[in-house]
Structure formats: structure tokens, C-alpha cells
Structure 1
Amino acid sequence: MSSQKTAINPALTDWTGPLGLPDFTAFTDDDFAPAFDAALAADLADVDAIINHHEAPTIENTLKALQLSGEDLDRVSSIFWLRAGAHTNDTIQALERVIAPKMSRHYSSIMMNPQLFARIDSLYEQRDFLGLDAETDRVLEKTWKGFVRSGARLDEQGKIRLADINEKLAGLGAQFGQNVLKDESDWALFITDEVQLQGLPDFVRTAMRGAAEERDHPDAWAVTLSRSIIEPFLSFSEDRSLREKAFRAWAARGENGGTTDNRAIVADMVSLRAEKAKLLGYNSFAAYKLDDTMAKTPKAVMDLLEPVWDKARNRAAEEEADLERLIAAEGRNHKVAPWDWRFYAEKLRNERFAFDEAELKPYLQLEKIIEACFDVATRLFGIRFEEKTGIPTWHPDVRVWEVQNPDGSRRGLFLGDYFNRQSKRSGAWMSALQSQHKLDGGQKPIIYNVMNFAKPPKGEPALLSLDGARTLFHEFGHALHGLLSDVTWPAVSGTSVSRDFVELPSQLYEHWLTVPEVLEKYAVHCRTGEAMPKALLDKVLAADKFNAGFSMVEFASSALVDMAFHADGTPPTDPIQFEADTLKSLSMPDAIIMRHRTPHFTHVFSGDGYSAGYYSYLWSEVLDADAFKAFKETGDVFNADLARKLKQYIYSAGGSRDPEELYKAFRGKMPTPDAMIEKRGLA
């Protein structure tokens, strides 16, 4: 390790906190900047040692050394990016705008280094004669392709331009995400007249009261742009004018003019991405991104999306007609507007299935749904969870569990950060402070989930919607992908898989939430402790496909616009007009908007993660519907033999083998979209 380490607060790199966690009490925000500088220099020193090694390239002195380089940078980065997403402030955000492009420039210098690439290229050319095991061979191939896709074969001028593009994209992505967070955290609609709360159940009013108190309005109720508040408000508020006001603010995040407006950022990012793809020899950015996925080509993505879009739009038209009937029955003559859909859909669900979200929610306690997540993991994979209290983390709300193997040995750690706050970006996600691998003694995974549920008053249980409970299961499925990882090489650990495979473990895990025996055990009333009545349980399961057209139109329109932005080699100069034109060409229903409109589409523009890749949720859904069908076909959704194969080939294998090969090892064949279409209620 380089002597540069002396410039780093050791608490950021030598994790001496309880259970091997960082000691979050031993560093401050001001420690990050010098730590990054020192860690970046130390990483370059590690790379120089590989380049200047006196012996010919070997797996040990080149590939393995590269995999283990930059340990300090990995540790500082993992803490910093956790903070940037889950508990940020002005200091962190200012540094993020500096660090994102600096990190991009750093990795460009490594991946474009001709001497380093020459050593990797030499190993790659000899790979058939090195006696490599399958995982090492795959890591070598992925590493070589990573260098090529990062510009290692470009001439010097091309390398300079690509590095410049990557640096600009990193800075723009950081700014995009910060702009969305600011628009979300700054906006609130304060209600002081209780008459304007008509129709809102107690759980919504309680969440709104808490949000108002957090914003120093203790005598008001606040509608915020957190999904845990805005969506139930739109579902229950009988004040149409307030619904419209809140909805328009929600839809306009990132498009409000001023310093937080993202429109110019999107135009720049799409243009830079197109230029990057052409530099690397691809017709479009979508072609570049998809080359390393299961889908492979934009055409394959569209072959999936277009038929589903047609089915979804037709179903949504039927649903809209049903909502118009309810509006007419109230003596109103307006069309269904986007701020009306959830409200009248909730009424229609009550009419058809004789229950609404307010009746269901007392049975979906956060604490019990967490227990259900753990219990399903124990039944499927044998692992157990033991909560550890009194451990300092990045926020007092964060909880810590030790994860144990069936024999009682430690497998890793799981942390949960469940409640919304102004310092946290919206949405829900999984990430790792530390990923599993076995090189040089290896390391155990430290995985965390971040959510944005409304925090209840002290002493009250946190109650979830059914969608919120599904989100919890979804993100915990990602967490299991990290916790159950059992590979040798860091490059293929846990969720280090192709983008359209990574959602399989998470979306598949959602299915166990609505298994009747799981709901019967954990869906208990927050006041009485009584299990959800069978009649209500039956209604919940019967209504599982309700509003299917709306849900799929919301999603598929976002995926199609994402592909449209990135599949054309000539990027648009006006992204909002392009969004409108694309939706018009798709005959997008006027009563529904994209789940993520372009100016706040953080999946696609706050970094590079899901750019030209939002479709992957649907691609993975084809797999997850088929995978759960395999369990149902046995008559036992906890079938031990299938669970063993699921763990071996899906949750533990990471990216150690080709994803299609892994899925076939589990299921015996690749699926068709039929099970997904049936599951979605679009058949």
C-alpha cells in the first residue's frame, strides 16, 4: 500500500467500527476531500506497480493485482457515495460535483493506459493456453472488453476526447441528480384548513403532519413530492384542485427554470453519449450499451417492448372508460386527467373488490414486512438475521443485522435505512459498502437497502402500501444477490452482472410477498395483532392485476422514450419536445404520464446506470415470471431442490458465468414473454 495512506483519516479506510463497519463517529465531511486525493494517488501507484512489474504478465501479477488495486479508494468511495445518496448536505453535494468528474478522469487514465492494456491484452491473447477455470476466464474476458469499451484501442486524440466526454458526463450526471433532489425537497404544499383533507385516511394525514413538522410547520399538513406521500394523496384527496397542483409539481421536477432546470443537461448528455458511441465504433449509444447485455441489440429490446406497449395501451383504454363512468356517475363532465387517475382507480378498486388501500394498510406494518423478507430468505436459503443495536451509522434511523449461514457462522452484514428525509434522494435502492470475494483471504459482504417510507410519530408503527411492501421485497432481493454471492473475483461479485439480468433476483423475490402463507403470517393488524381476514386476503390477491394497463403504460413509455433518446445517432436539441413527439408517435394516452419524465429520470440521467437500459426491468420480468412459475409447477413455492438451484445459479453466481447459461442451468430453458404477460394481467 502506498505511503499516500498517511494523508487519509484512517477511519475512512481502516474500518474498526463494530462488526467490521466503518466507525462513522470518527470522521467528518471535511475528511473526504483529502482522503480522495490521497486514495486516488495510491490507486495510481498500485497501477504503476503492475505496469512496471519486471516479469511477463501473469494472472497473478496483472489481473489479480489489478482487481485488488485501489483498496483505499474503494473504501472512501463507498462511504462517500452512500452519504451522497442517503444523507447528503451542502458540503457533500459541493464535493460530489468535484469528485464525479475527477473520478471519471482517473479511471479514464487507467483504462486508456497503453502499457497496462498491453499486459491485459497479452493475457487475453494467451487465454486458451493458460489453463484457466471458467470464472477466471470470464473475468479476464470482461476485463479485456472493459478496456476496449473504455477506449484502450483509440488513437491518442480519440483517447483525449473520450476522457473529456466521460468527465463531462460524470459532472452533468451529478448535477442532474442534485437538481432533482432540490426540486423534491424544496417543494411542499402546506394545508391548514382541515376541510381540504377530505377523503384522506388517517395514515396519509399522519404522514403529512410529520412532513410539515419536519419543515417547521407543526400546525399544518404537508403534501411533499416523496412517493410515500404524493401517491396516496393523489389516490384519496377529494379536492381536485389540490390534486392538480400537487401532480403538476411532481411532474415538473427538473423543469422549473433557474439553477435546478435539467433540460439543457439532458440535451448535453444525450449529445455527448452519441459522440462517445461513435468514437468507439457504434452506430448509437444504445448499440454501445446493449452490446454487453443479454438483449445485445436495440432491435431485440424493441421486439419485447412494442407488443407489450400495444397490449398495455389497449388495456389502459378500457380502464380509462371505466374511470369516466365513475366521473359521470358523480355528475361531472370532465375527462380523466393525470391527477384524476389514481383517485378514481382507488374508487373503482373499492367498487370491484370491496376494499381500498386504507383498509389494507393497517395490515402491512414495516416491521412485519421486514420479518417476512427475512423469513422467506431463511426458508429458501437457510440464512438467518440477528439485529445488532447501538451501532453508529450514517443516520440514527439506520438498522444493522448480522447475516448468518445455516451453521451459524457469519455470512455478512445487512443495513436498512427505511424512512424519508430531506437529506435523502427519492426512490429505493440497494448498494454495498463492501462486496464479497475470495482473493487473498477475501472479504464478507456489507450490503444496505435505502427506502423512502413516511416516518410515523414516535411509538406508532410505520404502515406500508402494497406497492411499498413490494418495493421492500424488491430491494431485499437485490440485497440477497449481494449477501449470497459466492465467487472468487471482485469483478463478478453479487450484482456485477449485465443490466438486464440484475433485476431478476429482486423482481423474483417480490413474488413471495403475496404467497398466501406469507401474508397470513405477517399481514397482521397494527392495533389488534389479528391476521388479515381471509376475505380481505382473497380480495387483495384477486385485485393483484387491477390497473394493469396504467402500470404498464407508465413503465413502458419511460422505457421507450429512453430507447428513443439513445438509439438515434443524431441526438435531439430540445429533449422536452423530443419526449412529446415520441409519446405522440406512440399514441400515449392523455390521462397517463411517464413514470419518470425526462427532466427527473434519474435512472437514465443521474449517472450512466440505466441509460438505454430502463427496459431491463421488463426483460428481467420475463425471467422472473418464468422462474416463479417453476416453483408453482412443483406445488410448493419453497421447494427445496429448486431453492438450492436458485441459490447456486442465480443468487450466488454473480457474473461468474454468462447470464443465459446461468438461467438455463436453473430452469433448463430460456423463457418466452407469456408468463410475464399473464402475471401482468395483459393476456
Structure 2
Amino acid sequence: MALSFFRSNIIVRHVKRQLYQNKRNAGYLVLIPEIGEDADKNILLSDNGLPEFNDITIEKCIAAISKQSMEYESGVKQIEQFTQNCKNAFIEIFQPLEKLDSQLELTWGMAKALYLGNSSLMPTKSYIQIHERAHKARSSKFNSIPIYQAAVDEKNRLKKLTDEEQRLLDKYILEGKLNGLDIKGIKRERLNNVLGSLQKEKQIFREKVNAANKLFTNTITNPDVLREFPESLIKSMAGNNDPNKGPWQVTLQPHIYEPFMQYCPDRSLRWNAWQANVQKCSNYINKELETSSNLEKIRNFRQEQATILGFDNFVDMSMETKMAGSIENVYNMLDSFLETALPMQEVEIELLQRFAHERGFDVKLEHWDIPYWQRKQKWSLYNFDEDKIREYFPLPRVISNLFNLCSKLFNIKIIERSGVHTWHKDVKFYDVYDDSSNLPVAGFYLDPYARQNEKIRVYDDAGWHISVRNKCKTTSTTPLSALIFNFQAPDGKNQSLLSFNEVSVLFRRFGHALRHLLTKANYSEVAGLSNVEWDAAEVCGHVMTHWLYDPHTIQEISSHYRSDEPLPDDIMKNLQNVRRHMSGYELCRELYLSRLDLEMHSKKTFWRDLVRELWPKYNVLPFDKYDSHPLSFSKVISEEWGAAYYCHLWSRMIAADIYSAFEEARQGEQDIVTVGKRYRDTFLAHGGSCHPSEVFRRFRGRDPSPHALLNNLGLSKIIVEE
């Protein structure tokens, strides 16, 4: 990173995002021991080469990461000595760096799995210590001018490179460029100051938003308000109180606020929560938690950072790590979607207004009414209730048939292995076998159940995939992953039952994991999910979720947990309708936020003026003059998604186009297994070792199109084909 670190044991938070960095960041000043008493022992691995999870302690993790980090930094310095007279950078520099990465990566991955899987064994404060130390060490190679120059020299040699070698060199060169390694003197000093100030403002922004989320509470004492609420929401709102007696608390925490807005029949209560949510961090609520000044400072610092590094603006800098390549390409994608989504949104709002009016709602729909009536309309039209559909998705059946689907499509076998040490008795370990090999090509842990006070819970992201270890030919290591969820645990009488949304989360995370587990790349730095452009990172996860709209797949993974009766035909047929319900409205929201993010990071216009300008272009409902939603838009302002919010939509577009190849195979003469093999040989095999645009062309034979996603969302009928 473009920052000089103190030589003492004080670890300073990195002030600029590392390319392809883990997205969990925290801004703390922490003290950790450089070497622990157990540092010389092989304390974290079993004889089978897997982590010794049942014997891991915080002290052992800190001792190991401290020792490995020091060895890593020392190793980088030793490698630097061989750069001047280097004849072959891959053999003399990059392969030794791969060896350095191996142990540090594994220990770091183990700590991350513990942190998300059992925070009582790895509390947040302890994980931050380990994360910061490992992150500092690993970034040293991307802040090395000799290694950066060696990559440049190797690329300039007149020799033919493989796709993977080219991508490896490009990664080191781009990392060095974005870290300012080719900037000297006063400009370099100013860059360091800008990045330090930027990190400080982002931390202040985060803290204010977190405080604002906790500030609002509204107590409900009338149980009639909760008559339609799902049991899980009632329990969350009750806290430590009796869920049957209350009182119940409305908060702005996403896992409470979002379902509350969908189920609360009292309009005044919905308005109260909505206005608190959209006005938080504004002068209207609490001036001490106002973030407008912090947001503008962050925008200015990002602009200055980009200018120093030679870019016109922060968006242009961001595009260096994106498949889209330019803001023009992104705008073309957004505009093509808006052309069909906005007219559909107008129709949807009109139909929803009519639906509500027929049920006694005699005023005009406002923002705080949409989630409630949207849910009611969905149930009325399609008899679809997320909470009731659980009975047809017992977790063991879903997992078993998910594995069967992958075996069929990708010619692999997934087999549980017993006797493996894990961080909890609920965790299982699976080996992944290629049909052509008797030895496993990869392995993963599966930790499915919610455990109160042990697991971190995020409402809109109900699971994690953790890359514990990458594939690496130099060290002969195979990929290792952990999949961690917060699904309903079995209660002794009943199995774990999933909502359809949770089934989708499971499929998406597993599809994401397959890219890590089935990679064929040789260098860990570009294997699997490493080095994949941000807007292509979620593609493989979304591809897998498309199978949930295939009637045969749904039939295989579902049956009533008591009677074994299949999912009713009407619900199965309506799954596609449910996905398309108010899709224009939902898509326009994503388009608006994507455009707002890009304009905030490419223009100097004050944020509120940008909102007023953009809002009517994407939203049918009028803008509320007190709405200050950008002031709590943490994902792009204080986290790692600045100038990158559009990536989620881009990944969905690519994934829909990929899956359409399977649909075409069903309708034509080609076998879907043939398409599955081609998908494995391209997207799953290449990972970050080939540019995703080229990978897509090798799979699809052309460039991507938005038509497949529009078709899935029921918006394609408006398209006028050229």
C-alpha cells in the first residue's frame, strides 16, 4: 500500500483499498505481539494437512500469524535482491512469492472461518488483529518497487506468454500503479496524506451510520400489529422479552426493518420507521451524527487520489479493475435496462394502487406503503409466502440434490469425510473428486445453522464463502473453502427448513465456491476467485441460482418434510412469476443507485443536487424532500464499493446470459451436460487467470447481451429487436 508503516509493533490500518481485497474492513489501531511463545511449532495443522480447528486458540492464531507475517516480509526483501539480474521472473520471483503466500494464506483463512463460524472462539477484536497483521504483510509484495519493475521488465521481453502468465504480470503491474509506485517526491507524499485522510473519513462515516442505526427504536405493545408477522421477526423484535407477550422493538437494523416494512399493517408505524431510515445521518435527525460533510470529503479525497495516479476521476480509476472497462459501457448497460424497466414500473405501481384500493386503502401509495402492499399482492396473485413455503425445503434434501446437480453438470463427486476437526459439531467436511482422479481435487467445510451469540448475522447476505486456501502448483496445494450460513437449526422433532430465498442463498454461495474449488490455474495469485474483476466476481453464484427456476431441479430438491409430498404445482409454476413480480420497480431502484454511485464519483455536483436530478429519471413515486439516503449509503461511501455498485447488476446480466446457453441446449439438440462441461472448462477452470470478457467469448462465442436478464425478469416483451 502507498503508506509507510511504523517499524514498531503498532499496526496501522491500510489507507487505500488493495485490489481484490477481502471486503471486511475495520479501522482500528491495535497492538499485537510479533512472536508468540508457540511460534516455532506447527500448531494449526493436523497430520492430514487440514486445520486443527478443535485445538486452535486465539493465542496460537496470533502467534502463528505474527511469525508467518515477519517471515513473509523478510522473504519479500530477499526476493527483491534477485530482481536486478533476473532472467526469468516466473521462476526467480513469482514462484518463490507463491511459496511465501501458502502458510500465511491458510492461517488467515482459518482465522476468518472461525470469526464468521464461531465468534466466541475468535472475537472481533482478535480477528482484527490477525487480519491487520496478515494484510500488512501480504501487501508488502505489491508495494515493492523492485518486484513491480521486474513484472514490467518481464512483460516487455519479446517472449510469448500464456494467458495466465500475462494476467499474473498485469496484476502486479496494476497493483503497483494503483499503489503509486511510479510516483515520486511531493506527489507521492501528497498521495500518502490523501489516502490517510480518506481512511479516517471513511471510518468516521461508518461509525456515525452504525450509531444512527442504533439510535432509533419504537416500542410496540399491541399484539394485533404483529398478527401477520413471521415467527422469526417476532423473536428478533422481542429481544430478551417473551416473544408471545412483548413488548417488541422496531429498529433500523436490516434484519428487523426490512421485514417489518413488509408485514406491518399499521401505516403510521411504517411511516415512522421509513422516515427515520431515510433521514438518518442528516441534520433533520441528529446534527452530531450528520455525515454530509464526511461524504463530500470522501468524494474529494477519492477524486484527488485518482488525479495523482493519472486518471480523470475515481470512476476511471475504478474501471481498471472491472470487466466493463469504461463508464460508457456501464452507462450503455444501465440505459438499455432503464428503457424497458421504467415503463414497466409505471404499470406496476398503477396495478398495485388498484389492488390496495380494492382492499380498502383509499389514499395514494407512498414509499412506506410499497413493501407491505407488494407482499400482499404477491400472496394474492401467486399464493406465495416465504415463511410457509419452508415446509417443502428441508435442508438435507436440498443439499443432497444440489450436490447431485453439480455432479451431473460438472462431472464431479462430493463426498462427506468423517473424522475431520471442525470449529463446531454442526460443521461437516466434504471432499470434491474429479471423475478422472482417485484423489480429491478440493475440499470444503459446511456450517449451515444459526447459533445465537456465536455467528455474525447480516440480513441481506445470509451466508459467506471463505477461501481458506487457494490452488497452487508451486506448493502442490489444493483449494479449501468454508461455507457458513445462518439457516434455521433443527429442533429435535423437525429438520432445518429453508425459505425459498434461503435456498437461493445456498445455491448462490455454492456456485460462487465452485469457481474456487474447481480452478485449473497454476498460480494462486490468479486461481479461482483471485484476480477476478469485481463486476464478474458474483457471476458463478448467480448462474447456479438460475437452476431454481428449472421445474425438474425444483422437483428434485423439494418435498414436504413430513409427508414427502412434492411442492404444489401451482407454487412451482408461480416461482417464475414471483421472480418477475414488480421487477421493473426493483430493477429501477438498482439502476438508480448504480447511476448515483457513478455520478458521485465522477462529478463535483453536491450530492443532494445529484439526487434531485437523477431521482425522477428512475422513480415513478415522487422524491421526498427530507429523504437523505446517500448519507447512510455505506456500501459505496465507506466500504469498498465506491464506483462499483453497478457490479451486482453486471454480474446478474452475465450470469443470465450464461444460463441461457443451458436453456437453448434443452430446446435444441445439444445436451446440457455438454454445456456444463464447457462452463466448467471456462468460467470455473480459468478463474482470474484469463480476462472475463475473453472467458465469456470462449463459453458463449460472442459478447454478452442484456436480453437474457430482461427475459428472466419478464421485461423482454417490450424489447424491439434490431
**Structure 2 length-normalised TM:** 0.81
> In 2 relative to 1, CA 331–586 (structure 1 residues): closer, same or farther, beyond 3 Å?
same
Residue 339 of structure 1 aligns to a residue whose secondary structure is coil
Number of the residue aligned with 1:194: 223
Q: Offset at 1:363?
A: 1.9
2:99 and 2:475 in contact (8 A); partners too: no
Q: Offset at 1:530?
A: 0.9
Question: Larger helix proportion, structure 1 or 2?
Answer: 1
Q: d(CA) in 2 for partners of 1:143 and 1:556?
A: 33
Number of the residue aligned with 1:296: 325
| Further displaced range: 133-142 or 244-253 | 244-253
1:100 and 1:174 in contact (8 A); partners too: no
Number of the residue aligned with 2:517: 483
The 5-angstrom pairing of residues 225-244 of structure 1 reads 230-244=257-271
> In 2 relative to 1, CA 49–607 (structure 1 residues): closer, same or farther, beyond 3 Å?
farther
1:668 maps to 2:693: no
1:143 maps to 2:178: no
> In 2 relative to 1, CA 647–352 (structure 1 residues): closer, same or farther, beyond 3 Å?
same
The 5-angstrom pairing of residues 436-585 of structure 1 reads 436-453=470-487, 459-496=493-530, 497-568=532-603, 570=604, 572=606, 577=608, 580-581=611-612, 583-584=614-615
Amino acid at match of 1:294: M
Per-residue CA deviations over 1:473-500 (Å, capped at 9, x if unaligned) read: 1121111111111110112111121112
Q: Offset at 1:549?
A: 1.4
Residue 152 of structure 1 aligns to a residue whose secondary structure is coil
Per-residue CA deviations over 1:81-138 (Å, capped at 9, x if unaligned) read: 4555665589954567777777776666643433333333322221x33x54332232
1:105 and 1:166 in contact (8 A); partners too: no
Amino acid at match of 1:411: V
Per-residue CA deviations over 1:354-374 (Å, capped at 9, x if unaligned) read: 444455332233443333432
Amino acid at match of 2:446: G
Number of the residue aligned with 1:646: 679
1:208 maps to 2:242: no
Q: d(CA) in 2 for partners of 1:174 and 1:13?
A: 36
Q: d(CA) in 2 for partners of 1:237 and 1:536?
A: 24
Residue 567 of structure 1 aligns to a residue whose secondary structure is coil
Amino acid at match of 1:449: L
1:424 maps to 2:456: yes
Amino acid at match of 2:183: L
Q: d(CA) in 2 for partners of 1:678 and 1:229?
A: 32
Amino acid at match of 1:413: G
Number of the residue aligned with 2:23: none
Q: d(CA) in 1 for partners of 2:302 and 2:210?
A: 23
1:432 and 1:448 in contact (8 A); partners too: yes
Q: d(CA) in 2 for partners of 1:212 and 1:460?
A: 24
Q: d(CA) in 1 for partners of 2:185 and 2:116?
A: 36
Match among 104, 109, 130 for residue 78 of structure 1:
109
2:36 and 2:59 in contact (8 A); partners too: no
> In 2 relative to 1, CA 626–70 (structure 1 residues): closer, same or farther, beyond 3 Å?
closer
The 5-angstrom pairing of residues 47-446 of structure 1 reads 47-53=76-82, 56-57=85-86, 58=88, 59-82=90-113, 92-94=123-125, 110-126=141-157, 128-129=158-159, 131-167=160-196, 169=198, 193-200=222-229, 204-205=230-231, 207-211=232-236, 215=240, 217=242, 219-220=245-246, 230-248=257-275, 265-388=294-417, 393-394=422-423, 398-406=427-435, 407-419=437-449, 424-426=456-458, 427-428=460-461, 430-446=464-480
Q: d(CA) in 2 for partners of 1:215 and 1:185?
A: 17
Per-residue CA deviations over 1:64-87 (Å, capped at 9, x if unaligned) read: 223333444434433444555665
- Could you say what the CA RMSD is over the residues aligned between the two structures, in angstroms? 3.8
Residue 635 of structure 1 aligns to a residue whose secondary structure is helix
Q: d(CA) in 1 for partners of 2:121 and 2:416?
A: 32
Residue 431 of structure 2 aligns to a residue whose secondary structure is strand
Q: Offset at 1:635?
A: 1.3
1:86 and 1:450 in contact (8 A); partners too: yes
Per-residue CA deviations over 1:143-176 (Å, capped at 9, x if unaligned) read: 2222122211111333333344445555665676
Number of the residue aligned with 2:658: 627
> In 2 relative to 1, CA 162–335 (structure 1 residues): closer, same or farther, beyond 3 Å?
same
Amino acid at match of 1:659: P
1:104 and 1:163 in contact (8 A); partners too: no
1:315 and 1:549 in contact (8 A); partners too: yes
Q: d(CA) in 1 for partners of 2:544 and 2:430?
A: 19
Residue 413 of structure 1 aligns to a residue whose secondary structure is strand
Per-residue CA deviations over 1:624-668 (Å, capped at 9, x if unaligned) read: 222222111121797121111100001111122222221111111
2:432 and 2:443 in contact (8 A); partners too: yes
Q: d(CA) in 1 for partners of 2:420 and 2:268?
A: 46
- Structure 1 gap segments, 5+ residues each: none
Residue 529 of structure 1 aligns to a residue whose secondary structure is coil
> In 2 relative to 1, CA 545–625 (structure 1 residues): closer, same or farther, beyond 3 Å?
same
| Further displaced range: 391-400 or 630-639 | 391-400
> In 2 relative to 1, CA 5–240 (structure 1 residues): closer, same or farther, beyond 3 Å?
same
User: Percent identity of the aligned residues?
Assistant: 22
1:431 and 1:449 in contact (8 A); partners too: yes
Residue 448 of structure 1 aligns to a residue whose secondary structure is strand
Q: d(CA) in 2 for partners of 1:167 and 1:82?
A: 29
| Further displaced range: 164-173 or 325-334 | 164-173
Per-residue CA deviations over 1:264-318 (Å, capped at 9, x if unaligned) read: 5544433322221111100111101112322111111111112313432322221
Q: d(CA) in 2 for partners of 1:458 and 1:171?
A: 49
Number of the residue aligned with 1:46: 75
Amino acid at match of 2:525: A
Q: Between Structure 1 and Structure 2, how many residues are aligned?
A: 668
> In 2 relative to 1, CA 191–564 (structure 1 residues): closer, same or farther, beyond 3 Å?
same
